[in-house]
Amino acid sequence: MNQPGILELVSFGPQGWGKALLAGAWMTVLIALAGYSIGAAIGSFGAWAKISGSRGLRIAADTYTTVLRGIPDLLVIYLFYFGGSAVVTAVGQLFGAQGFVGFPGFLAGSLAVAVTSGAQFTEVFRGAFKAVHAGEIEAAIACGMGRWLRFRRIVAPLTLRHALPGLGNVWQVVLKESALVSITGVAELLRQTQVAAGSTGLPFDFYLIAGAIYLLISTGSGLFMRRAEQHFSRGVRRS
Amino acid sequence: MDWQFLFETFLSLISAIPLSLELAATSIILGAICALALALCRLSGIPALDWFARSYVFIVRGTPLLVQIFLIYYGLGQFPAVRHSLLWPFLREPYWCAVLALTMNTAAYGSEIIRGGLLSVPFGQIEAARACGMPRMMQFRRILLPLAIRQALPGYSNEMISMVKATSLASIITLMEVTGVAAKIISETYRAIEVFIVAGAIYLAINFLLTRLVHLLEYWLSPHLRQPVPHPAAGLAPAPIEGDAR
């Protein structure tokens, strides 16, 4: 049997898996972006609850971050994938649908990634807010700025600037976590690689390529993050 | 809440705890040794070693652990040379593949933490050791390493917790540790929330105990930060000389 070479395997030709891998990489980025943005929303709410929420809200946010940072992400994905299906099936039966209704893997995956990254976002935002100099907020109050204006013009931009390095870390974690979503059957990069490895009998080559693609995405986004940091810290003197 | 079901789940998950702990402990211990070696490579000043450690850390930290596990578990078997080597009895076993992948992973993350710890040791301490006439190895063993470990321990505890969490990925290559058993129960009963609560509680308990242990170790390693315990015969002994023990 004539084994096709590895270059032929990752090409975009009829025997090539290039197209599948590229589509998988795109799906990976989409899951990561969806999880990241929902996670950021959860995180800003969590940070707000921890900083200035009521006692109940603060306890809830504390419990959330402690639990989500102490249990494996895989478990959270199982919860959303199987738990989501159970809820959807129950709702479906309420409306007279028969049998099992599956929960879309993409939604389950992004929600699981969002909920786990939300805990990290909470801590990043809280730490960044603490780094905002009290004098800046005082000055804003002294200028007679209202609560909302103060938040929009002073607190939010300064917090974001302090949060940028932490946000970069969270993005890297989210990107790697998105590989776990492959167990729900979503055709993201790792899932496509598994299919390719299985049907060609060349697992080593394909997993190596998948690793290289992940490395490429994370390095690329790392460079972007560094540029963003440079951009938003212009005018700040570093010791 | 179905207490009967929760209790049964708890019983089946509890039997899987030893495997999870074994995976975590083996990879943390082996990983710490590799991490120290990598950190020393970074600080050795030898370009080849430095370059090797840098690229290793870059590659391992930039790729998902699951890809690394698959690469080792499914990938290595592709080569006849590996299948016929002495290592095959180990690499055929999912357990050793998981240990290898976890160790490689934690070595990369841990090496950066240890490097930070080594760099934080004040030069004066080493200078003092040199002035006492300590040879290089003894300087390292008695001064540099203990001080670095004390400094790096809080950061390293985070890494240990991530390792406990990372053992859950072993379930994907058929190992029945806590997450593996939990996934099996979920797919049989479709009661994800209950099983999640029990399994999550187990992981939280493990991580809580782990942080307590590290705190204890930290306490033991930093006698200089403790309040001095009043000696029973304090009134008789001459007053201790005040000073900064650090």
- Is B231 a domain residue? no
Residue B17 belongs to some domain of the structure: yes
Q: What domain range is A135 assigned to?
A: 6-232
Q: Identify whether A239 is part of a domain.
A: no
CA-closest candidate to residue B148, choices B227, B42, B226: B42
For residue B232, tell me if it sits in a domain. Answer: no
Structure confidence at residue B18 as a pLDDT band (50, 70, 90): very high
CA-nearest residue of chain A to B76?
A: A204
Closest-approach residue (CA) in chain A for B179: A75
Confidence of residue B227 (pLDDT cuts 50, 70, 90): confident
Q: Which residues of B touch A214 (CB under 8 A)?
A: 62-64, 67
- Helices A156-177 and A18-52 cross at an angle (nearest 10°) of 140
A75·B200 Cβ contact <8 A: yes
Per-residue model confidence as pLDDT tens digits over B76-129: 988 998 889 888 988 999 999 999 999 999 999 999 999 999 999 999 999 999
Residue B209 contacts A where some CB pair is shorter than 8 Å:
no
- Nearest Cβ partner of B169 from A74, A202, A204? A74
| pLDDT value, residue B21 | 96
Contact B63 A214 (CB under 8 A): yes
Classify residue B241: in a domain, yes or no.
no
Q: Report whether pLDDT(B236) > 70.
A: no
Does B108 contact A at CB distance below 8 Å? no
Determine whether the interchain pair B204/A67 forms a contact, defined as Cβ–Cβ distance below 8 Å: yes
Host domain of residue B220: 3-224
Q: What is the pLDDT of residues A188-226, one digit of tens each?
A: 999 999 999 998 889 999 999 999 999 999 999 999 999
User: How far apart are alpha carbons A89 and A105 in whole angstroms?
Assistant: 15
Q: Which of A65-69, A78-82, B63-67, B233-237 has the lowest mean pLDDT?
A: B233-237
Other Cβ atoms less than 10 A from the Cβ of B6: the count is 16
Instruction: State residue A1's pLDDT score.
Output: 42
CATH number, domain containing residue A140? 1.10.3720.10
Residue B107 has a pLDDT of: 97
DSSP, collapsed to helix, strand or coil, labels residue A167 as helix
B187 in A contact zone (CB under 8 Å): yes
Measured CA to CA in angstroms, residue B39 lies from A5, B6, B107, B112, B217 at distances of: 38, 45, 9, 7, 22
Residues A145 and A166: their CA atoms lie apart, in Å, by 29
Q: From the list A72, A85, A211, which residue is nearest B71 (CB)? A: A211
DSSP string across A74-120: HHHHHHHHHHHHHHHHHHHHHTT--S--PPPHHHHHHHHHHHHHHHH
- The number of domains in chain B is 1
Flag whether B44 is in a domain: yes
Q: Are B153 and B221 in contact (CB under 8 A)?
A: yes
Please report how many Cα atoms fall inside a 13 Å half-sphere around the Cα of residue A46, on the Cβ side. Answer: 28
Contact across the interface for A66 and B204, Cβ inside 8 Å: yes
Confirm whether B168 is domain-assigned.
yes
- Under an 8 A CB cutoff, do B182 and A78 touch? yes
Number of domains in chain A: 1
B179 with A74: Cβ contact below 8 A = yes
pLDDT tens, position by position, B45-77: 899 999 999 999 999 999 999 999 999 999 998
- The set of residues, in sequence order, having a beta carbon less than 8 Å from that of B99 and lying 6+ positions away, is B23, B26, B27, B30
Note whether residue B65 is domain-resident. yes
Residue pairs between chains A and B whose CB atoms are closer than 8 Å: 125
CATH number for the domain spanning B83: value is 1.10.3720.10
Is A207 in contact with B166 (Cβ distance < 8 A)? no
On chain A, the residues whose CB falls within 8 A of the CB of B70 are: 190, 193-194, 197, 203, 207
Taking any CB pair shorter than 8 Å as contact, residues of chain A touching chain B are 66-67, 69-76, 78-79, 81-83, 85-86, 172, 175-180, 182-183, 190, 193-194, 197, 201-205, 207-208, 210-211, 214-215, 218-219
What ipTM, to 2 d.p.?
A: 0.88
> SS3 of B121, please?
coil
* B204 part of a folded domain: yes
> Between chains, do A197 and B74 touch, taking CB under 8 Å as contact?
yes
